[in-house]
Amino acid sequence: MKYRVIACIDDEAVILMAMAMELRRHFGPEFVIETATSADELELSLRDDLAEGMELACIITDWIMPGLKGEDVAARLRALAPGTPVVLMTGHSEAGEAEAAIAADGPVRILRKPWRQKALVETLTELLA
């Protein structure tokens, strides 16, 4: 069985833990959930996963990261797997410009923080189909 990876990045570890728990509960053993608080850390993990034959199924990124915005994170990680769907998590209302930039390279959805469990699961179910 070829494992698929859901990659999650946020600079707040508690948000990553909560998200990973929800994702594992709803998507079970079919997906590997990779989490990181920096783009460097996540990129290294994903390079290893891809080298082992795994597939990058989706990127979930916070919009505002230290030193990077979500669209920059998405571009960097999509360089490893072009066209990978992205979920942009944000508490900011002006994320529309980021959505347009990310959408040029593949599917993108925006979820507002704090996210609702149902919205996260429905969004990922749609993107992972």
pLDDT digits (tens, 9 = 90+) for 77-116: 999 999 999 999 987 766 676 677 677 788 889 898 899 9
Residue type, 106: G
User: Please, are residues 77 and 84 in contact by the beta-carbon 8 Å criterion?
Assistant: yes
List CB contacts of 42: < 8 A, sequence separation 6 or more: 7, 9, 34, 35, 36, 73, 77
- Single pTM value for the model: 0.92
The closest alpha carbon to 60, from 46, 43, 73, belongs to 73
pLDDT (0 to 100) of residue 86: 95
Res 3: pLDDT? 92
Domains of the chain: 4-128 (3.40.50.2300)
Residue with tokens 């919205």: 119
pLDDT single digits (tens) 43-77: 999 999 999 999 999 999 998 888 998 889 999 99
State residue 103's pLDDT score. Answer: 79
